[in-house]
Amino acid sequence: MSDMAKNLILWVVIAVVLMSVFQGYSPSSSNSMKMDYSTFLDDVRSGQINTVEVKSDQRTIEGTKRTGEKFTTIMPMYDQDLINDLDRKGVTMKGQEAEESGFLTQIFISWFPMLLLIGVWIFFMRQMQGGGGKGAMSFGKSKAKLMSEDQIKTTFGDVAGCDEAKEDVKELVDYLKEPTKFQKLGGRIPTGVLLVGPPGTGKTLLAKAIAGEAKVPFFTISGSDFVEMFVGVGASRVRDMFEQAKKSAPCIIFIDEIDAVGRQRGAGVGGGHDEREQTLNQMLVEMDGFEGNEGIIVIAATNRPDVLDAALLRPGRFDRQVVVGLPDVRGREQILKVHMRKVPLADDVKASVIARGTPGFSGADLANLVNEAALFAARGNRRVVGMEEFESAKDKIMMGAERRTMVMSEEEKEMTAYHEAGHAIVGCLVPEHDPVHKVTIIPRGRALGVTFFLPEADAISQSRRKLESQISVAYGGRIAEELIYGSERVSTGASQDIKYATTIARNMVTQWGFSDKLGPVLYAEDEGEVFLGRSMAKAQHMSDETASIIDLEVKQLIDNNYGRAHQFLTDNMDILHAMKDALMKYETIDATQIDDLMARREVRAPADWNMDENGSNGKGNGGRGEAVTSPEPSEAPAAEPASEPKEGDESPVVK
């Protein structure tokens, strides 16, 4: 019998009991008149009463008058003379036999409120004990969803672009299928596996593929599902989750976004007695405490491994950390082929060309690219998706949708054209910079215009010369405005360019050791947030004299590259004017036209869309028009360009 049927029967029984009680209290004659006992005695003595009937309780009297009117009265106390008075007046008297169940009924009625309270208490207790967190009051039960073997259709064939990560987790599948193979050699499978990587790289998909390949029960839960408003609920849910997992072992528990509950303890001002830390303590005990959890493998995913507690990352809990990073060009091609299976493609579509033009894209970005291309084809009433749609989809994802309805004056268009031309010309002349791919003055997203630079290959590190070239290119737009309009009319459109260039210069001096005076020493302070597990106290790592030298070095670095960009544009004013004219005429020029301009040749008209062997451009952002470089994945921490702002920042370079 289902829980709904049981609850329905319980409420029906309660309703029947209530109806019986209320019926017992209702008067037997709804049309009888209530009469005071003193009035009743006066009527008896005056001979107006015809019949009386004494009820079983020996106090209630019902009767009729000689006029036929019915009445009811209550005897306040036993009246011995009443019978004699009734007999003298010739009143017909009747009596009612006492009911045998009256005593039990009275006991039931008197105890009914207590019985009802006990029944309600039992009902709520059963709700609280509902398994799997399904009961209305089961806030202490785990919210982990159990997915059976038949529900998980994902396999390793659906995961592409992370071959190394797949190799690391294939051992889990082999162990779940054939544990004796490892046990006979004394091997122990990892208790927990932590999947680490940027957002959208396929960590959750990889966990589902593990469960789909192993054909074992799969419990999935988010880190935020543990902690709620009640104290102790998170720890209770952790205990219940592992109890359920033990009944289904061997199985997999997948905790997504574990940083929501696994952050470093002792953070903030309030000490270590908050609900989140108690939940983490219980998880630590369940994963590796006195009681073993044989056959239970915990897989967790996060993009913030730096804030996790050290006790959670030690061997015995999360024994293995699997890095699921951004895919390289070969991985992007494999991911694109996976997502293109469900899309009708034109004959000219080449996944390898698109992959070369999308450096820094994650798996989620590539899935979105294919979807946007399909939407472009549908809006154009196409039957297949071609390279033109993929080019338009990349432009939309990287720069934002075109805002052709935005009203711009001719003066603003001209200033934007000079600004973008300044970025492009300097980008073509400085050494080791990514090639210029496309320049547009069509407003897109938050930008009035964008200059795109496309890397020729995936870059892992950046040299000092390339970083200085990026600073020069960032100031190219502002310098072009200054040369044409004068310093009094320079606009605020270069604000993000200045921020970007200053960040690179400061990091070169304080983090990457590119200052001859200061040498290869780290001068940057720890900027960790206190409520993410960092200390409140910040130590001063440098003297005032050193800070002054850092400011001077940063200023000199910027001045040198600013002067270089100024000289390049001064020497090529004819190209600057020619590129402005081309932008005003065509609004968007590609790499071929830019080559014509730099060689001082006649500019060819652009094709409807251009696709060279490297695909398309990088990402753009807000401002009048910024120099935009495609994001470059960095696997080596020491060489990663930390100057690149995080996602969501309005900056020339978006990671």
Identify the CA nearest to 323 among candidates 204, 195, 200.
195
Whether 249 contacts 256, CB under 8 Å:
no
Q: What one-letter code names the amino acid at 250?
A: P
Query: According to the annotation, is 419 in a ligand binding site?
Result: yes
Query: According to the annotation, is 197 in a ligand binding site?
Result: yes
> pLDDT tens digits, residue range 455-468?
877 777 889 999 99
CA–CA–CA angle 65, 66, 68 (5° rounding): 65
Same-domain status, 267 and 295: yes
Whether 237 contacts 140, CB under 8 Å:
yes
Same-domain status, 626 and 514: yes
Same-domain status, 376 and 479: no
Query: Which of residues 260, 291, 323 is at a domain's end?
Result: 323
Q: How confident is the model at residue 371 (pLDDT cuts 50, 70, 90)?
A: very high
As a residue count, the chain comes to 655
Q: What pLDDT, on the 0 to 100 scale, is given for residue 427?
A: 92
Same-domain status, 389 and 494: no
CATH code at position 96 = 3.30.720.210
Share of the chain above pLDDT 70, in %: 74
Number of C-beta neighbours around residue 385 at 10 A: 23
- Give CA–CA dist 461/477, Å, rounded: 26
pLDDT of 556 above 70: yes
| 3-state secondary structure at position 141 | coil
Query: According to the annotation, is 204 in a ligand binding site?
Result: yes
> pLDDT tens digits, residue range 99-120?
555 556 667 667 777 777 787 7
In a domain, 60, yes or no: yes
CA distances in angstroms from 316 to 287, 319, 481, 535, listed in the order given: 8, 6, 61, 27
Residue 580 β-bridge partners: none
Q: What pLDDT, on the 0 to 100 scale, is given for residue 263?
A: 83
Q: Record the tokens describing residue 10, joined without a space.
A: 């319980």
Same-domain status, 274 and 166: yes
pTM of the model: 0.65
Least confident of 3-12, 84-93, 348-357, 433-442: 3-12
- Give CA–CA dist 315/287, Å, rounded: 11
Least confident of 214-223, 297-306, 579-588, 637-646: 637-646
Q: How confident is the model at residue 557 (pLDDT cuts 50, 70, 90)?
A: very high
Share of the chain above pLDDT 90, in %: 16
Same-domain status, 310 and 199: yes
Structural domain including 366 reads 329-398
CATH code at position 380 = 1.10.8.60
- Give CA–CA dist 18/64, Å, rounded: 32
Q: What pLDDT, on the 0 to 100 scale, is given for residue 82?
A: 79
Q: How confident is the model at residue 622 (pLDDT cuts 50, 70, 90)?
A: very low
Same-domain status, 571 and 630: yes
CATH code at position 183 = 3.40.50.300
- Give CA–CA dist 576/598, Å, rounded: 9
> pLDDT tens digits, residue range 589-612?
888 888 889 988 888 876 644 444
Query: Which of residues 398, 422, 439 is at a domain's end?
Result: 398
- DSSP per-residue string spanning 471-482: HHHHHHHHHHHH
Q: What is the mean pLDDT of the chain?
A: 77
Write down the H helix ranges in 129-162: none
Same-domain status, 432 and 382: no
What residues are labeled active site? 420
Q: What one-letter code names the amino acid at 474?
A: A
Number of C-beta neighbours around residue 77 at 10 A: 6
Query: According to the annotation, is 202 in a ligand binding site?
Result: yes
In a domain, 178, yes or no: yes
Same-domain status, 18 and 65: yes
- Give CA–CA dist 231/275, Å, rounded: 6
* Top-confidence residue, 453 or 113: 453
In a domain, 599, yes or no: yes
CATH code at position 576 = 1.20.58.760
Place of tokens 């011995």: 80
Same-domain status, 294 and 389: no
- The number of folded domains in the chain is 4
Q: What pLDDT, on the 0 to 100 scale, is given for residue 560?
A: 94
Whether 206 contacts 162, CB under 8 Å:
yes
Q: Stretch 520-534: mean pLDDT, rounded?
A: 62
Query: According to the annotation, is 588 in a ligand binding site?
Result: no
Q: How confident is the model at residue 296 (pLDDT cuts 50, 70, 90)?
A: confident
* Top-confidence residue, 214 or 606: 214
Q: How far apart are the first and last CA of the chain?
A: 56
- Give CA–CA dist 97/102, Å, rounded: 11
Query: Which of residues 363, 378, 398 is at a domain's end?
Result: 398
* Top-confidence residue, 371 or 182: 371
In a domain, 124, yes or no: no
Query: According to the annotation, is 132 in a ligand binding site?
Result: no
Same-domain status, 465 and 551: yes
Query: According to the annotation, is 440 in a ligand binding site?
Result: no
Same-domain status, 189 and 304: yes
- Give CA–CA dist 236/222, Å, rounded: 15
| Phi, psi at 644, each rounded to 5° | -70, 120
Q: How confident is the model at residue 504 (pLDDT cuts 50, 70, 90)?
A: very high
In a domain, 112, yes or no: no
Least confident of 100-109, 289-298, 408-417: 100-109
| Residue 629 burial (C-beta neighbours within 10 Å; 0-12, 13-18, 19+) | buried
Q: Stretch 163-191: mean pLDDT, rounded?
A: 78
Q: What pLDDT, on the 0 to 100 scale, is given for residue 18?
A: 65
pLDDT of 536 above 60: no
> pLDDT tens digits, residue range 114-164?
777 787 777 666 655 444 444 444 555 656 666 666 677 777 877 887 888
